[in-house]
C-alpha cells in the first residue's frame, strides 16, 4: 500500500482483514481522498512524523521517529472530536494514563510494546513499537497451512494474551487481523488497550450498532463497545462485563477459522451472534486434515 502524507486519522478497522504487509497495524483497503483539514504536523509531541501509512474514519496511523530514544515507532492518533467522553474528562485522561502505564510495563515478546500515550493539540496519540510483517489473517489466507504450522503460530499469540491477562489487561478485540507475524517468525498481538480510547461501555449489540460486516467491522461509535462481532464472546454481545474469558473465546474462534477456513458460528450477523450465545456450532468441515482431538 502506498503512503499518503497528505491525509490523516487513526485506523479503526473498517475492514480488519485488509492490512499492510510492511506495517504492524491494520489498514483499510484504500485510504480516503486527501483532505486539507487532516494534514498532520511535522511533529507530534516529541515524535517526528515520517509518513502516513493508513487513514480511517476516526484517525490516522503513521510512522514516526523518536529522537529521544533514537528509534522508529508507530503512532495512532484520534481527533479530539472522536474521543469518547470517558477519555475527554480529567478522570478519563487519568484512567487512560493508568492503562498506558500498565501496558508499558507489560514486556513480552508476543505483545506489541506501548511506549507512550498523550493528548497534543486535541489529538490523542498512542506511540507503539513498530512491527514489520503481515497480519495473521493474511498469512493463513495466502496458502494452505498445515494444522501444525497454524497451532505453532497461535501458541505464540496465546502466550501474549496470557501475559496480558496476568497483568490484568483484557484485549477485547482479539482476532487474526490484530496479530502480526514478523519475517523472522515472531508473533505479536497488537492493539491492547485501545478499547479505552474509544470509550468502551457495557451494552448489548443492537440493530442500532454499526454492524455492516459480520467478519470485519469493528464497533467504533463513540461510547460503544470496541469489538468485532464475529469474534465476540456471548457476554460481550450481551453487553455484560468482560474479562480474559472473552479473549479466550475470540482466540478459539480465530483458531477455528484458521484451521477450517470458516467461522464456527454461521448465518447472517444476528443469527451468527445468537448461535454463539446459544453455543450452536456449525458442522465441522470434513475437507481439512485436522486431528479430532484438536
For residue 133, the Cα-to-chain-centroid distance in whole angstroms is 15
Query: 259: which 3 cell numbers?
Result: 484451521
Q: Quick check: is 173 catalytic?
A: yes
SS3 content of the chain, % helix, strand, coil (to 5): 30, 20, 50
The bridge status of strand 47-55 relative to strand 71-79 is unpaired
Angle at 143 between CA 212 and CA 273, to 5 degrees: 30
Q: Which helix (DSSP H) or strand (DSSP E) does residue 115 occupy? A: strand 114-120
Catalytic option among 37, 70, 116, 173: 173
Query: 291: which 3 cell numbers?
Result: 486431528
Angstrom distances, CA of residue 106 to CA of 93, 164, 193, 262: 20, 7, 12, 33
Q: Among 129, 1, 2, which residue's Cα sits nearest to residue 63?
A: 129
Q: Among 235, 236, 276, 234, which residue's Cα sits nearest to residue 256?
A: 276
Contact 49, 75 (CB under 8 A): yes
**Residues in contact with 242: Cβ distance below 8 Å, sequence separation at least 6, in sequence order:** 170, 172, 202, 233, 235, 236
**Residues in contact with 272: Cβ distance below 8 Å, sequence separation at least 6, in sequence order:** 214, 229, 230, 263, 265, 266
d(CA 10, CA 70): 23
**Count of helices and strands (H, E) across the chain:** 8, 9
Q: Which helix (DSSP H) or strand (DSSP E) does residue 76 occupy? A: strand 71-79
Task: List residues with catalytic annotation.
Answer: 173
Amino acid at each position: 500500500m502506498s503512503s499518503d502524507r497528505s491525509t490523516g486519522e487513526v485506523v479503526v478497522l473498517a475492514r480488519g482483514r485488509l492490512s499492510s504487509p510492511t506495517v504492524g497495524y491494520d489498514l483499510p483497503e484504500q485510504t480516503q481522498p486527501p483532505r486539507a483539514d487532516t494534514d498532520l504536523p511535522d511533529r507530534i509531541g516529541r515524535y517526528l512524523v515520517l509518513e502516513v501509512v493508513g487513514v480511517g474514519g476516526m484517525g490516522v496511523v503513521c510512522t514516526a521517529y523518536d529522537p529521544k530514544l533514537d528509534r522508529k515507532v508507530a503512532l495512532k492518533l484520534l481527533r479530539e472530536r472522536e474521543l469518547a467522553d470517558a477519555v475527554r474528562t480529567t478522570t478519563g485522561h487519568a484512567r487512560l494514563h493508568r492503562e498506558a502505564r500498565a501496558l508499558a510495563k507489560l514486556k513480552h515478546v508476543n505483545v506489541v510494546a506501548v511506549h507512550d500515550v498523550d493528548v497534543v493539540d486535541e489529538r490523542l496519540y498512542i506511540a507503539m513499537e513498530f512491527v514489520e510483517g503481515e497480519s495473521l489473517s493474511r498469512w493463513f489466507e495466502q496458502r494452505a497451512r498445515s494444522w501444525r504450522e497454524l497451532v505453532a503460530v497461535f501458541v505464540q499469540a496465546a502466550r501474549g494474551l496470557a501475559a496480558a491477562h496476568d497483568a490484568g489487561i483484557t484485549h477485547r478485540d482479539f482476532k487474526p487481523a490484530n496479530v502480526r507475524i514478523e519475517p523472522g517468525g515472531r508473533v505479536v498481538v497488537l492493539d491492547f488497550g485501545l478499547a479505552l480510547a474509544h470509550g468502551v461501555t457495557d451494552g448489548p449489540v443492537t440493530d442500532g450498532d454499526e454492524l455492516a460486516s459480520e467478519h470485519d467491522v469493528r464497533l467504533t461509535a463513540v461510547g460503544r463497545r470496541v469489538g468485532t462481532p464475529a469474534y465476540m464472546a456471548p457476554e460481550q454481545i450481551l453487553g455484560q462485563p468482560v474479562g480474559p474469558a472473552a479473549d479466550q473465546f475470540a482466540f478459539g474462534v480465530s483458531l477455528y477459522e484458521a484451521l477450517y477456513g470458516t467461522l464456527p458460528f454461521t448465518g447472517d450477523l444476528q443469527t451468527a451472534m445468537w448461535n454463539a450465545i446459544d453455543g450452536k456450532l456449525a458442522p465441522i468441515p470434513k475437507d481439512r486434515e485436522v486431528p479430532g482431538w484438536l
